[in-house]
Amino acid sequence: MGFIRWLARRYSGLRRSVCTSWVRRTARSCGKNLRVNAWSVVGPHTHLGNNVNFNGMEITGRGSVTIGDNFHSGSDCLMVTEIHNYDHGEAIPYDSSTITRDIVIEDNVWLGSRVIILGGVRIGEGAIIQAGSCVVKDIPKYAIAGGHPAQVFSSRDAEHYERLKAAGRFH
Q: What is the predicted pLDDT for the residue at 8?
A: 56
Query: In whole angstroms, what is the distance from residue 56 CA to residue 105 CA?
Result: 17
Per residue of the chain (171 residues), give pLDDT as tens: 677 666 656 666 677 888 999 999 999 999 999 999 999 999 999 999 999 999 999 999 999 999 999 999 999 999 999 999 888 888 889 888 899 999 999 999 999 999 999 999 999 999 999 999 999 999 999 999 999 999 999 999 999 999 999 999 998
Q: What is the predicted pLDDT for the residue at 49?
A: 98
Q: What is the predicted pLDDT for the residue at 106?
A: 98
**Angle at the Cα of 34 (from 32 to 35), degrees rounded to 5?**
150
Q: What is the predicted pLDDT for the residue at 1?
A: 60
For the full predicted model, state whether its pTM sits above 0.75: yes
Q: Decide if 51 contacts 108 (C-beta within 8 A).
A: no
Tell which residue, 80, 156, 92, 88, has the closest CA to residue 125: 156
Q: What is the predicted pLDDT for the residue at 39?
A: 92
Query: In whole angstroms, what is the distance from residue 53 CA to residue 47 CA?
Result: 13
Question: How would you class 3 by CB atoms within 10 Å of its CB: exposed for 0-12, middle for 13-18, buried for 19 or more?
Answer: exposed
Q: What is the predicted pLDDT for the residue at 87?
A: 87
At 58 the three-state DSSP class reads strand
Tell which residue, 72, 86, 68, 79, has the closest CA to residue 119: 79
Annotated catalytic sites, by residue? Answer: 84
Alpha helices in the chain (DSSP H): 2-10, 12-26, 158-166
Query: In whole angstroms, what is the distance from residue 136 CA to residue 120 CA?
Result: 8
The C-alpha R_g of the chain, in whole angstroms, comes to 17
Report the DSSP pairing between strands 82-84 and 98-100. antiparallel
